[in-house]
Amino acid sequence: MSRIDCVAHGDELLARFSRQAVDVVLVGTQRAVPNGVEATRRLVSAHPQANVIVFGAPDDAASIAAAIAGGARGYLRWDASRPELVAALAHTLASTSVPAPRQPSDPGVQLTERELQVLRGMSQGKSNGQIGRELYLSEDTVKTHARRLFRKLGVRDRAQAVAHGFRRGLVA
Query: How high is the pLDDT of residue 31?
Result: 59
Contacts of residue 27, defined as CB under 8 A and 6 or more positions apart, other chains included, come to 13, 36, 39, 40, 52, 53, 54, 55, 67, 72
Which amino acid type is present at position 143?
A: K
CATH architecture of 111-166: Orthogonal Bundle (1.10)
β-strand pairing of 25-28 with 74-77: unpaired
Mean pLDDT within 86-103: 58
Mean pLDDT of the chain: 77
Alpha helices (runs of H) in the chain, residue ranges in sequence order: 10-19, 35-46, 61-69, 82-94, 113-123, 128-135, 139-153, 158-168
Ramachandran angles phi, psi of 10, nearest 5°: -60, -40
C-beta of residue 20 within 8 angstroms of C-beta of residue 29:
no
pLDDT at 2 > cutoff 70: no
CATH architecture of 8-92: 3-Layer(aba) Sandwich (3.40)
Find how far residue 68's CA is from the centre of its chain. Answer: 6
pLDDT over 70, % of the chain: 84
pLDDT at 57 > cutoff 50: yes
Instruction: Using DSSP, state whether 75 is helix, strand or coil.
Output: strand
43/18 Cα distance (integer angstroms): 9
Q: What is the largest CA-CA distance in the chain?
A: 48
Best-predicted range by mean pLDDT among 16-20, 94-98, 121-125?
Answer: 121-125
- What tens digit of pLDDT does each residue of 74-93 get? 777 787 777 777 777 777 77
Q: What are the residue ranges spanned by the domains of the chain? A: 8-92, 111-166
Query: How high is the pLDDT of residue 99?
Result: 39
- What tens digit of pLDDT does each residue of 105-155 get? 445 678 888 888 899 888 888 889 999 888 888 888 899 889 999 888 888
pLDDT at 97 > cutoff 50: no
Query: How high is the pLDDT of residue 98?
Result: 39
User: Any idea of the CA torsion for 165, 168, 171, 172, to the nearest 10 degrees?
Assistant: 130
Reading phi first (left if > 0) and then psi (alpha if -120 to 50, else beta), residue 128 is in alpha
Nearest to 123 by CA among 89, 76, 70, 82: 76
